Amino acid sequence: MPTQAPDSSRRIQSIIDDELRPGVGVLLFSSWESGWPGFLFERRKVAEVGDATRLVCPVPRAVLIASGTLTIAYRAGFTPRRVLAASGSIMIWPGDYEVQSLSWTGDCELLEVEMDLAMLQELIGGSARLSVAQLTPQLAIHNRQLAALIRGMETEATGGCLAGSLYGESLSLALAAYVAGRYSTGTRGVESRAGRLSPRQISMVREHIRANLGSRLSVSELAGVVQLSPHYFSQVFRNSVGATPHEYVLGERIREAATLLTNGDTPVAQVAYMLGFASQSHFADVFHRATAMTPKQYREARRHSAFSHLT
């Protein structure tokens, strides 16, 4: 069922015939309504024929055709173009890119992601270069990695953002870095510097994580502990510990859960709450993937092992 339309300021909007308005089609899902912490994105149903004399995308965006097909005919400058975008194909539109004499027809569902430079600037820090603003248009390309990133964003947001801010921010950073690195002119879109955290910095971050396992930790918060930009922190953290911030925090939560399940009678639901999981079922799912046992099975197995040593 289509979602109730959010406030227009929270929609992905385009300038169509000199009027700022939401994209074409029927809104099925908006990430803004889900508490998603990353780039704004929407799933929309397009089953119509339409036209416009002028269209401008104020903000860079990536569009994945989730199902069906969409045919677009337009003119950019003096060059007329016609594109058939089938299921799985992707279009990338630079910010302020203008097309004229646009027409479209289709029966499809699309996922459109707005790569908001203001949000990206906050995540990667003020000193980084953002050549995502210099993207070259891409029409009906096929890129499995990019499609997987976009679908991963939808899966997390529609599932209630169970993995928290850390994961949502990381996916948005990965999407921006990938798009800028592959489809922008000149140098890489997000300044890349190889490096590692110092032993003291690693210790500071680990201590902060251990002290806040029950909180909704974010990349920005962890980066602030050592006074780095979130993007650079993500790079050097992975270089230093061999895992992304999200993977590391999840591992710490599972280790602490195993300790609590082994050494006490804390109810499983309370363990989930204490360690920042969205629900008991989410905790059980993550724990099972990590240990091949449910929390209850793990507790029983550890108790049986301890009893066997005593007899």
59-114: pLDDT as tens digits: 889 999 999 999 999 887 667 888 899 999 999 988 877 888 889 898 999 999 99
Name the β-bridge partners of 51.
103
Count of Cβ atoms closer than 10 Å to residue 111 Cβ: 23
In a domain, 140, yes or no: yes
Label residue 114 exposed, middle or buried (CB < 10 Å: 0-12, 13-18, 19+): buried
Q: Could you tell me the residue range of the domain that residue 215 belongs to?
A: 194-242
Distance, CA of 191 to CA of 208 (rounded, Å): 27
More confident residue, 20 or 89: 89
Could you give phi then psi for residue 192, rounded to 5 degrees? Answer: -115, 130
**How far is the CA of 34 from the CAs of 41, 161, 219, 221, 284, in angstroms?**
11, 7, 19, 21, 22
Distance, CA of 252 to CA of 258 (rounded, Å): 10
- CATH number, position 35: 2.60.120.10
* Full-model pTM: 0.67
In a domain, 247, yes or no: no
Q: Do residues 92 and 223 both lie within one domain?
A: no
Q: Do residues 221 and 298 both lie within one domain?
A: no
- CATH number, position 272: 1.10.10.60
Q: Do residues 289 and 161 both lie within one domain?
A: no
Specify the range with the lowest mean pLDDT, choosing from 53-57, 147-151, 197-201: 53-57
Q: Do residues 60 and 154 both lie within one domain?
A: yes
The segment with the largest mean pLDDT, out of 23-27, 159-163, 190-194, 215-219, is 23-27
Contact 274, 260 (CB under 8 A): yes
In a domain, 150, yes or no: yes
pLDDT surpasses 60 at 127: no
Q: Do residues 209 and 106 both lie within one domain?
A: no
Q: Do residues 35 and 117 both lie within one domain?
A: yes
Q: Do residues 28 and 166 both lie within one domain?
A: yes
Specify the range with the lowest mean pLDDT, choosing from 26-35, 80-89, 280-289, 302-311: 302-311
Q: Do residues 144 and 206 both lie within one domain?
A: no
Q: Do residues 177 and 228 both lie within one domain?
A: no
Q: Do residues 124 and 235 both lie within one domain?
A: no
